[in-house]
Structure 1
Amino acid sequence: MLATVLLAGCGGSDGGGSDVASVKDASAAAEDGGSSGSGSGGKSDAEQAQEFVDCMRANGVDMEDPDPATGKLNLGAAMGPGADPQAMRKAMEACRDTMPQALKDKAAEKPDAQELESLKKFAACMRENGVDIEDPGPEGLDRGNLDTSDPDFQKALDACRELLTGATGGGR
């Protein structure tokens, strides 16, 4: 799934970071121009983005409307501090079919060397703050064994969130 849902909502308040490395990915892709390409059903970027936002809202995630002209999404508030990672993950899964193509494309990217370094620093910070997380591999962080509902996880995430600003790729 999207690195966007990396830690679903783990990105910084600048709109970054999804399952760990992931909400940032969604923001970066959204800022790159919304949605186009396959899966849009002939809809404009703005229409596809609005359908995605409507679905996310229907699934418990409050999001701003996309730019009506470009379809550009602002995911910062939905993924910033105080966001509910579990709600974000569930909504992203439920809205996968309405997700703009730009977000889908971004999710498929692997992290580059700079992003991997940021992810390593993030993982080290999380461990220093009591969360057992492995260093990232070539695909990004392995979120499989993370319990994002654990209060200790949220505390560590709050302490380490800023380290994700340079980490946008992948995630398994």
Structure 2
Amino acid sequence: MVSRMKRFIFALAFLVAGCGVIPGLGADDNRHDQLVKYAQCLRQQGINVADPPPGEDSFNLDGRGVPKDKLEAALTTCKKYRPQERPPTAEDLERMRKSAACLRRNGVDASDPTAADPGIRVGSPPPGKDLDAITAACEKEAGQ
């Protein structure tokens, strides 16, 4: 089973690339409400994101065309609403490192996660390549 922490971290990394899905913590009402507040805050900062549907623990964020500094500022401003996750396990980190290595093999600039900074910073894909397709293949390869 894919850990929610890993999905959240992996998704946050793709925000830097321009778009992604933000997983939450589960479908319980309190956590869903927290994720809705996070989405609302991001919209107030000019980021295109829809509320998660009832019973869902994710929402789509479209950061294409948003300058990186504006996106990072919005994420910082809205951090207080972001659902809190458990720290990644060694297994989570290893799978994320495998994903990052796969992304790099496919021409995407990707940083290795650490326990202190578990996110994967991701750049744009090579011209003519689809980041979603590369990501899906790398997640599968890494066992996510």
TM-score, normalised to structure 1, is 0.52
Q: Which protein, 1 or 2, shows the higher relative CO under an 8 Å CA cutoff with sep ≥ 6? A: 1
- 1:156 alignment counterpart: 126
2:28 is aligned with 1:59: no
Which deviations, in whole Å up to 9, do the C-alpha atoms of 1:112-166 show, x marking residues without a partner?
5444322212112236xxxxx47636556774xxxx8xxxx53538726233231
Secondary structure of 1:92's counterpart equals helix
Secondary structure of 2:59's counterpart equals coil
Compute the displacement of 1:6 (Å): 1.6
Structure 2, unaligned runs of 5 or more: 1-8
- 1:136 alignment counterpart: 112
Q: 1:117 to 1:72 in 2, by over 3 A?
A: closer
| Aligned mate of 2:83, from 81, 84, 100 | 100
2:26 is aligned with 1:33: yes
8 Å Cα contact 2:36-2:51 kept in structure 1 = yes
Compute the displacement of 1:62 (Å): 1.5
Q: What amino acid does structure 1 have at the position aligned with 2:13?
A: L
- 2:72 alignment counterpart: 89
Percent identical residues: 14
8 Å Cα contact 1:48-1:71 kept in structure 2 = no
Structure 1, unaligned runs of 5 or more: 16-25, 37-42, 128-132, 168-172
Q: Larger % of strand: which?
A: 2
2:31 is aligned with 1:45: yes
Compute the displacement of 1:89 (Å): 2.5
How many aligned residue pairs are there? 125
TM-score, normalised to structure 2, is 0.59
Secondary structure of 2:57's counterpart equals coil
2:8 is aligned with 1:6: no
Q: 1:135 to 1:124 in 2, by over 3 A?
A: farther
Equivalent-residue separation in structure 2 for 1:142 and 1:65 (angstroms): 24
Q: What amino acid does structure 2 have at the position aligned with 1:49?
A: L
Q: What amino acid does structure 2 have at the position aligned with 1:33?
A: G
